Amino acid sequence: MSDYLVIVESPTKAKTIKKYLGSRYQVAASLGHVIDLPKSQIGIDIENNFTPKYITIRGKGSILRELKNAGKKAKKIFLAADPDREGEAICWHLSRALGIDADTPCRVEFNEITKNAVKEAFKNPRVIDQDKVDAQQARRVLDRLVGYKISPLLWKKVKKGLSAGRVQSVALRLIVEREEEIANFVPEEYWTLLAHLQADGAIFSAKYYGKKGKKHVPASKEEVEEVLAGLKTQEFYVDDTKKRERKRNPAPPFTTSSLQQEASRKLGFTTRKTMSVAQELYEGIKLGKEGVVGLITYIRTDATRISQNAQNEARQYIEQEYGKKYLPAKPPVYTAKKGAQEAHEAIRPTAVERIPEKVKSYLTRDQYRLYRLIWERFVASQMSPAVYDTVTITIQAGDFEFRATGSQIKFDGFMKLYVEGKDTEEKEEDSLLPEVTPAQKLKLLELEPEQHFTQPPPRYSEAMLVKTLEEKGIGRPSTYAPIIHTLQVRGYITREKKVFFSTELGRVVLEQLLEFFPDIFDVDFTAHMEEQLDEIAEGKKDWVSVIKNFYDSFAKRLAVAEDHMEKVIIAPEESDEQCPQCGRRLVYKMGRYGKFLACPGFPDCRFAKPIVKELDVECPECGKPLVERRTKRNRIFYGCSGYPDCNFTTWDVPQKEKCPLCGYLTVQKGKTLSCANKECSYIRKLNEKNQAVQK
């Protein structure tokens, strides 16, 4: 018989912890929540202070019985769920089900699953934090009230199977409103003018800035021609030159949100995939003779703080691997955003000495890539800033002013290891300018005018959406993955070429929600509600009062919506194709992975097929058109329309241009154009407009 029973959420976590605790401890897994609100009813006694009606989750009865039996045999029970509000709630439900007194210090909390962290945590158990439990309970009740009251309304008025979420609908609103911005955007013309100049044999370019000290951006061809006419007789000379040193600091270690964003940018991971793989790394990976080891710290955090031990480890590694110049005199301190839970650390490797290459053989490809991202980001965050020399040359040509800017990395610092990704392409001047002196005359080689048009704001990528949700205080980073997943599953949005599009269904649902519940699905209201949940967790507010204040106005709006919301019929868009089975005209439908064609005669006729996008490029094997297809995991690839007779496929984007060396198909790979024939070595760089340029 074991002296102590320890309950965690997952079997992997249980296995990792067990090896640190020894034979006196039995470690069991609850497999997440065992008690929750029922699915078949709202499960909240609105008339009795919004008391939740908790039940044992279907299928979890046997787990709870086993835990109760094990608890009866143990001298003491420890509850060691994850160190967040959700984990606190799991422990609270278990403590009540197992008959643990509320004043018993049974809660064990650790930020990383390592021997020292686990053993230290068991030396200092605490009582369950009721304030954290109440905050989780308030969120659960709020979301249940909104979901279970509004969703049936949408079933009656729009379509069966729809749902409305308190936070998910605000995320949908951001996507829909961005599409409206794009649709209503009116491009404005503007021109740039480059002067290609020569100074003592060195050639460089300067950009037209303005006239008589005032900034001027030509808005038409006529305006730029007027500038060109004024420059015809002018000589170009250096007016001023400024050189200064700039420093670029490393990005802080990862929080949940920044990890989701960076994994989306650099690895192409969805938020859901990021959290799933990160959970595996946190709970433990078997590293040969070392056994199961937690490779990273807890993954649900909004803090950038790190422990003194971790900082010392990183500094020791940096000095050994890169030398003293890459080690700052004082360890950097990163400021967390307002409201961050500073009790947690940032996401970091549990041991810097476990460099990614050392553990690569024990990890899956996705685990390795994410671990490497976390490891590099953390180590880089403790390195010296990068140092740039920036130069600005001001050039006069009569009343006209041009400016040339450039920068050169003087010391790479943290950039030797890691550079943070960007949501949109930003040009960084990284070019050397010639040494010039004031009053020096320059030779004009060419004036190059170019027309441009202002661009609408970009559609949200997953990284951009997560960043916006966090900046606006909507939801919590741990909820972003299920929010985005739900919007896609419900058919409210689709993800194409890594950006989100709203569907007609999504727009109709949002329109109905905003007409009758404008406050509840308001960005500021949702952010304020998040602040109130934080205040409940800090013991500053009573959860029942917060829910009551919300529900009083919500109930009134609900009554109005039930009486006045009109029924909406969304007619499916017809295609030109006929159903091969019954002759009806096929319609476009929205599925989990976007649009597809289906027979409107469902369920009598169940014919459906994917929409195939044909390219204006011939198959190099048989000459038939190539088409865009998708894998089961929704990854795009290109194949022959003659399949299965012809099996040609490629992951890269096919181009019309034939290979000049062997005549085979060329494909675009990032910023290069290359031959798809593996036997051919032809490759060319592409310019900013994705046009091929010579090597």
- Residue 688: its pLDDT value, please? 47
Give the pLDDT confidence of 474-523 residue by residue, as tens digits: 988 889 999 999 999 888 998 887 899 998 899 999 999 999 999 899 99
HSE on the CB side for 611, CA within 13 Å? 15
- Strand segments (E) across 119-188: none
Distance from C-alpha of 329 to C-alpha of 243, rounded to nearest angstrom = 26
pLDDT band at residue 261, thresholds of 50, 70 and 90? very high
Q: Is the pLDDT of residue 93 over 50?
A: yes
pLDDT band at residue 198, thresholds of 50, 70 and 90? very high
The whole-number average pLDDT for the span 418-436 is 74
User: What's at 210, amino acid-wise?
Assistant: G
Which long-range contacts (C-beta less than 8 Å, at least 24 apart) are formed by 372-376? 373/259, 373/262, 373/263, 373/266, 373/267, 374/254, 374/259, 374/278, 374/281, 374/296, 374/347, 374/348, 374/349, 375/349, 376/417, 376/418
Q: Domain 256-381 sits in which CATH superfamily?
A: Topoisomerase I, domain 4 (1.10.290.10)
- Residue 340: its pLDDT value, please? 55
Q: Is the pLDDT of residue 37 over 70?
A: yes
Q: Domain 189-249+386-453 sits in which CATH superfamily?
A: Topoisomerase I, domain 3 (2.70.20.10)
Q: Is the pLDDT of residue 172 over 90?
A: yes
User: What's at 475, amino acid-wise?
Assistant: G
The residues facing 129 across adjacent strands are: none
Rounded (10°) CA dihedral 327, 328, 333, 337: -80
Residue at token pair 């015809």: 232
Give the pLDDT confidence of 523-570 residue by residue, as tens digits: 999 999 999 999 999 999 999 999 999 999 999 999 999 999 999 888
Count of Cβ atoms closer than 10 Å to residue 430 Cβ: 10
Distance from C-alpha of 359 to C-alpha of 519, rounded to nearest angstrom = 50
User: Domain boundaries in the chain?
Assistant: 4-128, 137-184+458-564, 189-249+386-453, 256-381, 571-611
Q: What percent of the chain has pLDDT over 70?
A: 95
Give the pLDDT confidence of 312-362 residue by residue, as tens digits: 999 999 999 999 999 999 999 888 766 555 567 999 999 999 999 999 999
Q: Give the fold, CATH level 3, of 4-128.
A: Rossmann fold (3.40.50)
- Residue 4: its pLDDT value, please? 94
Q: Domain 137-184+458-564 sits in which CATH superfamily?
A: Topoisomerase I, domain 2 (1.10.460.10)
pTM confidence score: 0.83
Positions marked active-site: 298
- Residue 692: its pLDDT value, please? 47
Q: Is the pLDDT of residue 574 over 90?
A: no
The whole-number average pLDDT for the span 173-199 is 96
Distance from C-alpha of 51 to C-alpha of 124, rounded to nearest angstrom = 32
Q: Is the pLDDT of residue 594 over 80?
A: no
**Helix intervals (H) in 517-626:** 523-537, 543-564
